[in-house]
Amino acid sequence: MKARAQPCAATLPPIADAFARTRLALDADRDRRSSAILAVGAALLLAWGAWFFLARIPVYAVSETARVEVDRSSFAVAAPVAGQVVSVPGAVGHEIHAGDVLFELDATPQRLALDETRARVQGLAQQLEAYRAEIAAAEAALVAAREAGRAATDQARAESRGAEAAASFARSQAERSTKLHEGGSVSQLERQRDEAEAEEKRARADALAIAARHEKLQEVERGTRDRERIEHIRREAAEVESDLATARASMVRLENEIDRRVVRAPIDGTLAEAADVRAGAFVRDGDRLAAVVPKGGHRIVAHYLPGVAFGRVRTGQPAELRLEGFPWTQYGSLRAAVTGVGGESRDGRVRVELRIDGDPASGVPLQHGLPGTVEIEVERVSPAFLALRAAGRRLQAER
């Protein structure tokens, strides 16, 4: 049986010494790596703390709804009256001009009434013209009769004055004959003849004076009668003129009623909307028929909740619009700035208007009605402030 070989005592110290040195080296390297890790962790923690308390990050208010609009308000076209549609506009998107017919409603009853009223107006106008001609002729006849009456009266007065003079002369001659008869120079027969002649001429003078007064009375009576006739004609003409004015007013009203049944474009622009109605359909008063978008630049109109907008959204703040249907990662977003904030809420929303500061790099064509979402930068705060705000809101909600 062979004996087991034993290690030599002389070789043990060198091996143990090498093992000890290796272990010391490993421990020293582990200590250096731990120190480096601790140093890096401390640096990261310090940097994160600095960012958490000192950094400023933007806070955005996001709209409920938003869309691109022209910078002038679009015009909604409504049915002015109820009626049956007889004509409809062209296709949506076509360019139209102010005054172009969009819809036409049936106006047959009004047109028939207008034709009847026009005929009545024409008849009344002719009747009034006849009355006016008759008045003119009667006034001319009155002037002529007045002149003729004055001439006859003047002639009767002249004849009366002549007869009065002859009667006075005959009376003087009779008185002379009486004196001469008393003196025996004139016979009784001559005196009686002179007395009879004086009486005759006095009677003629009195008759002519009465005739002159009668002629004057007849002149006044004829003038009064002619003026009364003229006034009667004028009253009838005034009644006809009043009826004519009423008929003309009715004609204007009917023309306006007919015109109201022709729905026209209020401005130049583009037909952005048209009601889906066909000829023969019935529409009610106030039904929306079309919308016309005017030409011009574009703006953004957004609607926010009052709690989001009031006190936070202000004029001049920067914003971005992300269009629906155009992913912002591919097409980008529209830069904008707030130009106006509504002071009252309507239907639970606050209207905010924004100016477009630039087109998207993708070249998305701006068009009235493009929907999207607006994000307005309302403040810049530290992450620590945001965390405290969130915690406060959570505690308030839990209460």
**Of 212, 241, 260, the domain-final residue:** 260
Same domain (yes/no): 141, 204: yes
Task: Give yes or no for a contact between 374 and 63, defined as CB atoms under 8 angstroms apart.
Answer: yes
* Together in a domain, 209 and 279: no
DSSP run (H or E) holding 264: strand 262-264
Query: How many Å apart are CA 264 and CA 100, to the nearest integer?
Result: 5
Q: What is the pLDDT of residue 382?
A: 81
User: With contact defined as beta carbons under 8 Å apart, do 300 and 321 qualify?
Assistant: yes
27 in a structural domain: no
> Is 377 within the bounds of a domain?
yes
> For residue 393, what are the domain limits?
54-71+296-399
Q: Domain tally for the chain?
A: 3
Judged by DSSP in three states, 59 sits in: strand
Residue 277 sits in a domain of what CATH number? Answer: 2.40.50.100
Q: What pLDDT sits at residue 4?
A: 44
**CATH classification of the domain holding 385:** 2.40.30.170
Q: Residue 159's closest CA among 115, 113, 209?
A: 209
300 CB neighbour count, 10 Å cutoff: 25
Within a domain: 39: no
pLDDT tens digits for 158-212? 776 776 777 677 677 767 777 666 666 667 777 677 677 767 777 777 777 777 7
Strands (DSSP E) contained in the chain are 57-62, 65-70, 75-78, 83-87, 95-96, 101-105, 262-264, 269-274, 282-283, 288-294, 298-304, 318-323, 334-341, 350-358, 371-381
3 inside domain: no
Nearest C-alpha neighbor of 177 from the set 150, 158, 161, 198: 198
For position 7, what pLDDT does the model report?
Answer: 46
Residue that terminates a domain, selected from 233, 260, 287? 260
Whether residue 131 is found in the same domain as residue 172: yes
Residue 90 and residue 147 in one domain: no
Query: Does residue 7 sit within a domain?
Result: no
Q: How far is CA 3 from the centre of its chain?
A: 127
For residue 299, give both structure tokens: 């703006």
Contact between 382 and 52 under an 8 Å Cβ cutoff? The reply is yes
Both structure tokens of 295: 């030409």
Query: What are the residue ranges of helices labelled H in 261-313?
Result: 306-309
Together in a domain, 112 and 246:
yes
Domain holding 125: CATH number? 1.10.287
Same domain, 270 and 331: no
Looking at residue 100, its pLDDT comes to 85
Q: Is 334 contained in some domain?
A: yes
Contact 363, 304 (CB under 8 A): no
Residues of the chain short of pLDDT 70, as ranges, are 1-33, 71, 73, 90, 149, 152, 156, 160, 163, 167, 170, 174, 179-186, 191, 194, 198, 358-364, 399
In this prediction, residue 3 carries a pLDDT of 42
In a domain, 97, yes or no: yes
Do 183 and 306 have their domain in common?
no
- Asked whether residue 13 is assigned to any structural domain, the reply reads no
Same domain, 171 and 148: yes
196 shares a domain with 180? yes
Whether residue 272 sits in one domain with residue 217: no
What type of residue is 28? Answer: A
Domain end: 272, 295, 318, which one? 295
Instruction: Supply 333's token pair.
Output: 């977003």
Q: Are residues 265 and 179 part of one domain? A: no
> Are 265 and 397 in a shared domain?
no
